[in-house]
Amino acid sequence: MFTGLIEQTGSVLGIEDRTGARRITIAAPGLAARLHEGDSIAVSGVCLTALDITADRFHADLAQETIDRTSLLRLRPGSLVNLELPTPAGTPLGGHIVQGHVDATGEILSLTPLSPQAHIHDTDWTLRISVPETVGRYVVEKGSIAVEGMSLTVARWDPAASTVTIAIIPHTWARTNLHSLHPGDPVNLEADILMKLAYEKSRLPAAESTLTVALLLEHGY
């Protein structure tokens, strides 16, 4: 489990086609040294298994489901990715519960500074993303959504246009891969698991109560 608080960015060194699988190699100085073979790591919101780890890089195999559901296949050598290690038990949840199970990709519509006259590292940003229906059904204003593995808060949700607007603080813009993305780029989306549970519960028929007057009288009420 993750919380959507990005620890650092890494850079893609390459994606290699192998017989029956694709393997991605990611440079992650500092963080790679904390990994052990088989550990989970979130790469731009995608939970992967770290393999063939060295002091400054790790590898991971991409299942076909991962390729079909995420934006990882668009990456090229030099692309920035967000990295997060799993949250240890008992650690405060600073973001929200992120599983690393990407639901679908959205598309960046715009990423604009709120104060164009300010330095790019000092201004808030407004991020607009088109969201597919498979994710949109779980989106609510002021709710949480994971974008490229980042725990973000929905500022505005336009269900008619399937567009989500998110306020980005300078720290998030500078310390994640957001500053390297552009309109038209795909981004990995994971809906809040709590909203998924609430949605599925709302679709269930209301349970009929077994509490009756006769039952209450029988038990002395």
Residue-level pLDDT, tens digit, the chain, 221 residues: 899 999 999 999 999 988 778 999 999 999 999 999 999 999 999 999 999 999 999 999 999 999 999 999 889 999 999 999 999 887 877 889 999 999 999 999 999 999 988 888 889 999 999 999 999 999 999 999 999 999 999 999 999 999 999 999 999 999 999 999 999 999 999 999 988 888 777 777 765 666 676 766 676 55
Based on the residue annotation, tell me whether 176 is a catalytic residue of this protein.
no
Based on the residue annotation, tell me whether 63 is a catalytic residue of this protein.
yes
β-sheet bridge partners, residue 189: 104, 147
Q: Read off the CATH number of the domain in which 74 is found.
A: 2.40.30.20
What's the pTM? 0.88
Instruction: Return the residue matching tokens 């505005």.
Output: 156
The residue from 2, 3, 11, 96 that is catalytic is: 2
The residue from 28, 32, 42, 47 that is catalytic is: 47
- The closest alpha carbon to 157, from 106, 123, 201, 113, belongs to 106
Residue 210 falls inside a structural domain: no
Based on the residue annotation, tell me whether 119 is a catalytic residue of this protein.
no
| In contact, 13 and 23? CB cutoff 8 Å | no
- List, in order, residues 6 or more apart from 194 with CB less than 8 Å away: 96, 97
The residue from 33, 63, 118, 174 that is catalytic is: 63
The helix (run of H) or strand (run of E) holding residue 146 is strand 144-147
Last-in-domain residue among 20, 50, 84 = 84
* Residues spanned by the domain of 80: 8-84
CA distances (Å), 1 to each of 86, 100, 221, in order?
5, 7, 47
The residue from 115, 134, 153, 180 that is catalytic is: 153
Q: 74 and 110: one domain?
A: no
Based on the residue annotation, tell me whether 54 is a catalytic residue of this protein.
no
Q: 185 and 120: one domain?
A: yes
Q: 58 and 148: one domain?
A: no
Strands of the sheet with 57-62, listed across from one edge:
46-49, 40-43, 80-84, 8-18, 21-27, 57-62
Based on the residue annotation, tell me whether 165 is a catalytic residue of this protein.
no
Number of domains in the chain: 2
Based on the residue annotation, tell me whether 153 is a catalytic residue of this protein.
yes
Based on the residue annotation, tell me whether 182 is a catalytic residue of this protein.
no
